[in-house]
Every structure is written in C-alpha cells, then in structure tokens.
Structure 1
Amino acid sequence: MHYPGLLVLCLSLVLVSPVLQARVLESDLYPLQVEQLTDGLENPWSLVFLPEGEVLITERPGRLRRLIDGQLMPQPVSGLPPVHPTGQGGLLDLALHPDFEQNRWLYFSYVDRNREGYTTRVARGVYRSGRLSAVEVIFTAEPRSSGGRHFGSRLVFDHEGYLYITIGDRGEMQRAQDPADHAGSVIRLHADGRIPDTNPGVLKSGWRPEIYAIGTRNAQGMALHPETGEVWLQEHGPRGGDEVNRIQAGLNYGWPEVTHGRNYTGTSITPHQHLPGMESPLWHWTPSIAPSGMMFYTGELFPAWQGQLLVGALAGRLISRLEVSGSGDDWQVAEQERFFQVMNVRVRDVRQAPDGSIWVLTDDRNGQLLRLSPADRL
C-alpha cells in the first residue's frame, strides 16, 4: 500500500536531521544550541568557508574534504601534493587568498618527507569544483629533522596581504632560539612566497629572511585582532605555560629560556618566567589545557562576545573565552569562562561562519563538525 504522507514525513526527518541531533548546553552569557553537521572525519584539523557556500575541511592523514549543502562529499579534493602524515603532522591548515573570489588561490600547510627528514611545507593551488590545479610550494621549513612532533602550523593573511605561518620547534626546544633555523618561529611572506624586504630576517644579521619573530614552541592557533589587524597567536606549552601572544616584528617570545611550564616529567625547563629582551605572554594557562584553534569573535549572534577570543583545547576538552582589552602596546587578557566540557571532545579548531555561528572540529578518528548558535533559535 502506498502512503505518500508517510514518505513526505520521512524525507522531512532526513532533511532536518542535524536539528534533531541538537542539544543545549550552558555558558555564562548564552544557552548554546549544539548541532552535529557531520561526522566521519578522520582527525580533522582545519576548515575554510568558500564564498559560494562550500566548506573545505582538512583531515590529518592527507585528505581535503568537501561539505556542500550540509552533505559531506565521499570523494576528497584531487590535486594535492603527496602528504606524509607522522605523529602530530599531516595535512594541516587552510587559508584563502584575500582575493580568492577572483583568483581562486587556496593555501594549505602539510608535512613533507625526504631523505633528510620531515618538515612543514606551505603550498597553494587554484581551487575549482573539487580539484586543485597549478599547485606550487611557496615555503619549506629548514632544516628538516626526524620525529613527528610540533609542526605548527597555522596560516593567516593580514590586511596588507602578508601571509603568516607558525612553525613548531619540532620537539627540539633550543632550535626556537636560533634565528638561522625556521623551527620555533613565525614566518611572513608575500602571497606568492616572495620575502618582504621589511622582514626582520632580512634586516638582522644571522636571521633567515623569512622569519618575522622567534621563540615560540608550537603555535596551533592564530588570528587577526578585529580592530588593529595585528596577528595574535596562542602557543601550545608543555606541562603548563600555554600562552597567548601579540606578535610583533623581530621580537623574541622566549621559549624555552622563559616559560611558566615544566617538562612532562615534572622537572624544570628554566628558572625564569621573565627575562629582559624576551616577551612575556599576555595570558597563560597553567596547568595546560593544550590549546588548539583560536578566533576573535566578530559576529552578531553572540553580541556580548564581540572582540573576545575563543580558544579550543585538546587535553582540556573545552573552549576558553578570553576578554581582550587595551590599545597600542598596552593590552590585557583575562579568562572569563570555560565551557563545552560537557561534550567531552578534543576541540581541534574553532571558526566563525559567515552567519556568525561558531563551527567546531573535534580531533578524533571519527571526528565531528559541530555548530554553536544561540539556543533560543531552536
């Protein structure tokens, strides 16, 4: 027997299934609706929103996935160069060229391997309809090394069109104090990979020319301040000493000569939390929460959060909300709350969607993409 009404009902349930999976959790200022947009992502790391509505998501094993009209496409994007996942590294961050709508340049960071070892690379390609073409490598961190730790690697364009790249210390902490080594530094390039003439690494003797700042451990979150346009980042510390820093040209952010953290064994790394000539963090988490992606919120859905930092955490399984205030060289950061713990997931990335909702990637072999919006919109 044919039941057209039942068929319509079943189709409706399929179409609204994300809402049916929604739950509500509390934060200090807002009840939050949490919707699962998709699962089945293998250790997702980053995402970008394309102007036409498509979403691209990296999976650490080396796949670039497409989310179209809420559906995860079974076939990954073609045209990627070989990715060599190892330890904490693989296919990592994504960024769109500031003129993406015109030139379609998509930037991505990933782990590369040759006989000399592993390293972080950044490449770009022209993206159209599930395919990358004209792929070219624009940066390779040198020297290479063995091991699978601390690759970084976040990508951010500033308002002047410079590309910033974070490179981890590769688990060899003293490399972060060597300006002739890319490890443990922030890189600044033109969009095509050329080196800006004003880079500190060009102007300072003994520095690699791509380097903009040194002394970072493993920055896995980076964002532009919405008013000043300056680059801020968070740094994944050891046992304590996760940091938030405002990045300025030629400065030394101290790792490992100064830190609030300790070795994972509990032994001391350094007796110093402050030293002349080295920048102190604007905020630190001690004990560590293992911070990951971060963003300044600028949307309309959560007006009381505007201008504040949201930082995901892996070990902490939470989102930290930080209030940022100040101007010029005088800035203060204070943690206002920690939420999202009830979800019990490793938060890998947090991103603001075009509609002002907040999208969250979870770090798991069956990773999820979640969306946060005000619960009163249910």
Structure 2
Amino acid sequence: MTEPQFRRTTFSLELMKIEIPLVPEIGEHEHAAAVRGPVDDMMDPIRARRNAAGLGAVSVHHPKGPSLVAALVGAVRDLCPVRRQAVCTDAIGLVRKSARHSARHGHAPELHRAGEVADVVEGPRIGGERKPRRAARVEDPYQRRGHRPSLARRRGQWAAVGGRGLAAGVVFAFLANACASGGGIAVRSTPTPAGPAFTDTVIQSGLIVPWEVAVAPDGRMFVTERPGTISVFESTAPMAKRIASAEVSGVRAMGEAGLLGLALDPDFARNRFFYVCASRLDQGEWRNQVLRYTVSANALAVDTTILRTGIAAGGLHDACRLRFGPDGKLWIVTGDGGQPARAQDATSLNGKVLRINADGSVPSDNPMLKGQSAPSAVYALGLRNPGGLAFHPTTGTCFVVDAGDQTQDEIDEVSAGANFGWPTVLGPVGSSRGFADPAWSSGAPAVAVAGADFLSGPGWGAWADTLLVATLKEQDLRRFSVEDTHATQREILLDQKYGRLRAVTAVPDGSLLVTTSNGSGDRIIRIAPTR
C-alpha cells in the first residue's frame, strides 16, 4: 500500500500561523462512475489570509482529497469535547465564497456537490474583532459517510472542499475559541417542541431498492422493487410472509429507472385496484407508464394501462412518484429524464406535477397552461428530480420534494399552474418573475432529498402534521414543520443508521414506513410512536 503523501499548508491569521499536514483519504462515493471530478488533479496547497473581504480558504476539487475545513473540524473535535454545531460553525467561519453562482445543469445521479453560499454566520473571534461572514455549509466529516461536499474550482470564486482530513499544529487561540462555551459563534436556530419517543424496527429485509410501499385497509403491504418486482406481504409485522408477487413485463431498470411509484386506489377495499409507474420498453421507446393492477385472492394481474405515452424514461432524474390526493385524483411527479429543457416544455410530461382521473382522463378543473387550448394532465411544472409527493393531513395542500443540481434541494407547495423554475432558477427565485418560491431550500450542499410524507395521528403529539423527508446522500430522515407557505427543518432522525433512505409512507395506524436504497440487502423500517 502506498504511503500517503503529506502536503503542508501555511494558514495565516494576522500574527498567527498554522501549519497543517493534509492526508488524502479515499471516501465512499455514490454512483462512483458518475463522478466527473478531475481525477488526475492533486490537492493544491491551501492558503488562507485575512483581508478586507473576510476570511477565505481556497482549494481544488478532487473526489478523493481532503480540505482545510475538514482538517480544522477534525483537529478541533479531537482536542476538545464541544458540541457538534459549535465545531462545525467555527470551521465554517473560515470559508467564504464571493458570489452566488448560476444554476448548473450537470447530471450526477443522486450525487450533489456544494456550490452555494449558505447562511450568514458570525465568524470566530480573531484579534478581538467579530464580523458577520457569508459562509458555506460544511458538515462534520467525522459524522458523515459517503461523498462529502466538494466543488470544482471556478474563476473568481472561493470554494470549500469537503472530505476527511487530519490536522496537527492548530493554533491554540482558535482551539480556545472553538472550545469556549457556545463555541464563540452566533448561529440561528429554531426552537422545536419536545419530540415523542418512538421505535424504529426492521420489518422486511433482503430487498433490492424498494422504491415505494403502501398498506391496504386489511393490513397487507405492497412493495415495488426497482428491478421490476411487485410484492405483497400479509402485514407490516416483522418478517411477515410474502403472499404474492409479480414481475412487471418490459421493465428496463437502468440507472434511476425501473419499477418506481405505487399507489392504492382510494376505493381499494371494493375494487382491488392499485397503480404502479414503470420504466418500460414499448414499441422501441423507453417510457414511464402508469399501469393499473387488480388483486384477486393472492394473485396480481395487469388490468389496464392508464398512462402509456408522454413521460420519457431515462437513466437520470427518472422520478415517478404516485399518490391519490384528498380530491380523489391520481397525482404523479416526474423527473426531467436528464434533459432539463423538458421541465419548461408544457407539451412534455417530464419535470411536472401531473393530475389525472383514475381512468387516465384529464380533470376538467386542471389549469390551462400558456400555449394550450385546453387543460392537460400537467398541473404544475419546472421540476428536476422530484422524489417526494405528500398531502398535508389537515389542509390537503400538496407538497413536492425536488432534488437540486448539487445545491438547492427544495420543498415546493403545489398550486394550479405553478412553475418551480428548473432549469432557469434553482432555489429562491429572487428577482426572476413567473416562478414560485420554494417553501424550503437547502442551500449548499444539497442532501439528495427523496421520499416524503406527513406524520398523523395522536401518538405523535407535537410532531403531528409535520413532514418527514428521506435523504439519499446524507442517509437520514429530516423533520420539517410546515406553516403557511414555509417549511422549517427541525430534527434529523435515523442519522446514518440504515444507509440511504428512499421512500417515506404514512400508514393508517399512524406509523411511518421508510425504505432503504443501498442497492442490495435493502430494508423496510417501521417507525412508530411509543404508546
């Protein structure tokens, strides 16, 4: 094994000097073949100095390289037992980027790199002076696995690269500041109500990318697996028996495409209908199609094709989540299929929120978009890769969770004719006209949001009617409160416990089902409040 090569970096802060040996370390990458970093480029020496504009650290993107910020976080964490937030934000105070960048249209599936200035925080006390700084979010590398936030070097910008680094010889003034009570830094926080106790239990395992799960009124659990299998389990009890399964014909599971969304008919108890979205080859074309199935005893059979044409399938951004809304209509969110222009094309069903009747016809009260002479299946547009679709249990308002391009994941409130901006804008629309502001956006880096649903039921107490969102890159479950047109992140749950999380489904008994998306040996987890 080749010995790591140390690169020494001089870090000057007024009269102080820090010399840090950086050790490259190979990290885990999601979809490593899709990473388009400069693989032959080595980490440049990182030099930071104080100037009128504030503190800065500059480095070059390398998927396997560390960064000054990671090194400082690691050093501080090793030398003083301070709160994670204080450690991270003190390190964050040393990173700056000069300008907001425009939306990029790269295509790294479910892989997102930093590229956005985040919140204004207050930098560490140096030389008795304290000034607000624009800072890029950087996670604690000792608390995260997988691909860390990174950024290609771009002209005129300061950038921080995420990754794990080891540091030595750190200035004691910096350490004393980081270890002081409160970390010596002001960070905006949002008080949260006391959360209920809950249990998380694995109820099924050995699956292959379970993309969606739904529970029937009689307790049977329906699951789609991306390679093309529909399975029915007799209940949500741990390791319940699989009582039926079927392979969807013609499925082409490649990249992010395959057997995807699933929804039970609102009148399932009577008609036994359920619906799936599958990426299929049909007459030589790769399409996402909505199929209706019937359940007879323990057998599954295709009943009809509800939506055959209009949604192009693709190995990238192939989201196709299904939900029946409180209005009885079938709602579908679709990705742009790797072609951003589709999201703004009203004649395409990609990058959209679709709303149709259960038989595939178009509701008469759907909006009529610009250039159309009649309502279509398109209810809203401008989405990139929406993995989550949920309805507020009290208001019935529809929310979509959309994964951004390396930055600016969004939670969007859906209204008739809304345009969420992709690929023209990403995140807050600012002065751009004609686009809807997100209820929440992640800033940088993105966390690769996926499925979402609302908690409901008295067992959740103060958490009732709040939104739970799964993440792929960060491998956790995030709780958001939703008020009016704004969503606020409250807690992070199941942090790194089960790997990448894909689907989130609330079930009639008030519990929540979450699926993993690790590629093999995947699981379904039941989360329930402790009675």
Which residue identity is paired with 2:287? T
Residue 319 (str. 1) matches residue 447 (str. 2): no
CA distance in 2, matches of 1:183, 1:318: 28
| Shift in Å, 1:144 | 3.5
Given that residues 79 and 132 in structure 1 are in contact (C-alpha distance below 8 angstroms), is that contact kept between their aligned partners in structure 2?
no
Match of 2:339 among 154, 167, 172: 172
Gaps of 5+ in 1: 1-26, 262-271
Which residue identity is paired with 2:231? R
CA distance in 1, matches of 2:326, 2:319: 22
Given that residues 46 and 94 in structure 1 are in contact (C-alpha distance below 8 angstroms), is that contact kept between their aligned partners in structure 2?
yes
Given that residues 164 and 189 in structure 1 are in contact (C-alpha distance below 8 angstroms), is that contact kept between their aligned partners in structure 2?
yes
| Shift in Å, 1:361 | 0.7
Residue 90 (str. 1) matches residue 258 (str. 2): yes
The correspondence of residues 134-149 of structure 1 with structure 2, limited to 5 A, is: 134-142=302-310, 144=312, 147-149=314-316
Gaps of 5+ in 2: 1-192
CA distance in 1, matches of 2:266, 2:353: 20
Once the two structures are aligned, what percentage of the paired residues are identical? 31
How big is each residue's C-alpha offset from its partner over 1:97-128, in whole Å with a ceiling of 9 and x where there is no partner? 11111111101111012455322111112113
Question: What residue is the counterpart of 2:195 in the other structure?
Answer: 29
Greater strand content: 1
CA distance in 1, matches of 2:323, 2:200: 27
Runs of 4+ in 1 over 6 A off after TM superposition: none
Deviates more, 1:296-305 or 1:126-135: 126-135
Residue 301 (str. 1) matches residue 459 (str. 2): yes
SS in 2 for 1:77: strand
Match of 1:276 among 433, 439, 443: 433
Question: What residue is the counterpart of 2:509 in the other structure?
Answer: 355
Which residue identity is paired with 1:113? L
Residue 160 (str. 1) matches residue 327 (str. 2): yes
Match of 2:230 among 64, 72, 91: 64
| Shift in Å, 1:294 | 0.4
Question: What residue is the counterpart of 1:211 in the other structure?
Answer: 378
Change in 2 beyond 3 A, CA 1:189/1:204: farther
Change in 2 beyond 3 A, CA 1:243/1:168: same
| Shift in Å, 1:153 | 0.8
Question: What residue is the counterpart of 2:442 in the other structure?
Answer: 285
Given that residues 228 and 247 in structure 2 are in contact (C-alpha distance below 8 angstroms), is that contact kept between their aligned partners in structure 1?
no
CA distance in 2, matches of 1:250, 1:296: 24
Residue 369 (str. 1) matches residue 527 (str. 2): no
| Shift in Å, 1:132 | 2.3
Given that residues 233 and 242 in structure 2 are in contact (C-alpha distance below 8 angstroms), is that contact kept between their aligned partners in structure 1?
no
Given that residues 364 and 375 in structure 2 are in contact (C-alpha distance below 8 angstroms), is that contact kept between their aligned partners in structure 1?
no
How big is each residue's C-alpha offset from its partner over 1:233-273, in whole Å with a ceiling of 9 and x where there is no partner? 11011101111111111121100111149xxxxxxxxxx65
| Shift in Å, 1:336 | 0.8
Change in 2 beyond 3 A, CA 1:238/1:284: same
Which residue identity is paired with 1:172? Q
Question: What residue is the counterpart of 2:95 in the other structure?
Answer: none
CA radius of gyration, larger in:
2
CA distance in 2, matches of 1:362, 1:89: 16
Question: What residue is the counterpart of 1:119 in the other structure?
Answer: 287
Match of 2:217 among 48, 51, 55: 51
Query: Normalised by the size of structure 2, how large is the TM-score?
Result: 0.60
Question: What residue is the counterpart of 1:265 in the other structure?
Answer: none
Change in 2 beyond 3 A, CA 1:150/1:311: same
SS in 2 for 1:301: helix
CA distance in 2, matches of 1:140, 1:188: 15
CA distance in 2, matches of 1:72, 1:64: 16
Given that residues 504 and 514 in structure 2 are in contact (C-alpha distance below 8 angstroms), is that contact kept between their aligned partners in structure 1?
yes
